[in-house]
């Protein structure tokens, strides 16, 4: 997980197109200077406020919109045989 500094946020310096769309959404809808913003993976950004409350944002490629959730849904890596 990588934290974005003010310059990264200002220049939209992210790794993927999905992250770019998410960050653009956050910049339009939040005062991003009030939050800590982390790149979690290629399609997820974590936002933490001053009370350490967390939201995770991801980009839905099919619907072409940003969605959020309070917790990351863990992938079930077990396989049935």
- Does any domain span residue 62? yes
Q: What average pLDDT does range 52-81 have in this prediction? A: 80
Q: Quote the pLDDT of residue 6.
A: 95
- Does any domain span residue 44? yes
Locate 39 and state its tokens. 């790149």
CA distances 19 to 4, 23, 51, Å, are: 12, 6, 24
Q: What average pLDDT does range 11-28 have in this prediction? A: 97
**Alpha carbons 6 and 4: distance in angstroms, whole number:** 7
- Does any domain span residue 75? no
**pTM (predicted TM-score):** 0.85
CB count, 10 Å around CB of 36?
A: 14
- Does any domain span residue 30? yes
Between 73 and 36, the higher pLDDT residue: 36
Q: Quote the pLDDT of residue 71.
A: 82
Q: Has residue 80 got a pLDDT over 90?
A: no
- Does any domain span residue 12? yes
**Alpha carbons 8 and 25: distance in angstroms, whole number:** 15
Q: State which residues form the domain around 39.
A: 2-69
- Does any domain span residue 51? yes
User: How many structural domains comprise the chain?
Assistant: 1
- Does any domain span residue 77? no
């Amino acid at each position: 997980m990588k934290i974005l500094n003010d310059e990264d946020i200002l220049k939209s310096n992210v790794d993927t197109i999905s992250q770019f769309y998410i960050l653009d959404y956050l910049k339009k809808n939040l005062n991003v200077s009030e939050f800590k913003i982390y790149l979690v993976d290629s399609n997820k950004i974590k936002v933490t406020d001053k009370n350490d409350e967390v939201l995770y944002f991801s980009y839905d490629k099919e619907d072409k919109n940003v969605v959020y959730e309070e917790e990351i849904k863990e992938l079930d890596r077990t396989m049935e045989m």
